[in-house]
Amino acid sequence: MAGGRKVSVAKRSYLPANERRSLIVQAASRLISRDGLHGLTMVAVAKEAGVSRQLVYDHFPDLPTLFEAAFAEQARQYALGLDDVFAVGAGDAATMARRLFEHVLALGPETLRVVRALIGGVVPVELAGVREQFRATIGKRWSPWFRTLGLDDQSSNALVWVMTAAYLSLAELVDDREIGADGAASIMAMLADGIVSQVPLSAAAAT
């Protein structure tokens, strides 16, 4: 009370439940990217998101559930926009490769570190389902492109992860300033052109 009058306290602006959940997931993603898996605790997420720990628990009953949601969001960011990239078609492999590399770079190093972990790094057992779903999503976008070139399923699946690893490695080199973005994109274009130029020979040898 002040001078007989009640002092009003500013309330936190209301956010719908889905937006609050998204805020928490984004905070968890930042912590994972910045501090690694061991940096993720409910207390740390609450502080990063600027909310109470109870609010975090309201949306995520335990840490594994929050782990899964954060990794799934990073995976979604990676997959977002790939359909537009692959719409270019196998007839212009170099352009497709460049566009895909631009998409990868735009995600930023934090998301890419999570993506690399989902592809082949060590992740907690709780994330096995996220990894499986992520690999299936990427495979569904890449494999049909390789099949249009006449490659069999085994070769297509192998090239999916070879090319994905190449994109991530070049993006890391750009982030470390060991190569420029244009130079890295040119390398990816050369790799794509090289695959396309060799496909008739590979397909013929397989028959």
Among the listed ranges 6-15, 99-108, 131-140, 176-185, which one has the minimum average pLDDT value? 6-15
What per-residue confidence (pLDDT) applies to 206? Answer: 44
Average confidence (pLDDT) over 141-149: 73
The yes-or-no verdict on residue 22 having pLDDT over 60 is yes
Q: Which residues of 154-186 are buried (b: 16+ CB within 10 A; e: fewer)?
A: ebbbebbeebbebbbebbbbbeeeebeeeebbb
For residue 123 the two structure tokens come to: 């992740």
Q: Cβ distance 185 to 98 under 8 Å? A: yes
What per-residue confidence (pLDDT) applies to 199? Answer: 66
Better-scored residue on pLDDT, 121 or 203: 121
- Please tell me the distance from the alpha carbon of residue 202 to that of residue 186, in angstroms, as a whole number: 24
Architecture of domain 17-61: Orthogonal Bundle (1.10)
For residue 143 the two structure tokens come to: 């494999």
What per-residue confidence (pLDDT) applies to 3? Answer: 52
Q: Give the confidence band of 136 by pLDDT, cuts at 50, 70, 90.
A: confident
Q: What percent of the chain has pLDDT over 70?
A: 81
CB-side neighbour CA atoms (13 Å) of 127: 25
What stretch of H or E contains 146? helix 128-147
What per-residue confidence (pLDDT) applies to 201? Answer: 43
- Please tell me the distance from the alpha carbon of residue 185 to that of residue 120, in angstroms, as a whole number: 23
Going from N- to C-terminal start, the domains of the chain cover 17-61, 75-206
Which DSSP symbol is given to 150?
T
Overall pTM > 0.85: no
What per-residue confidence (pLDDT) applies to 202? Answer: 44
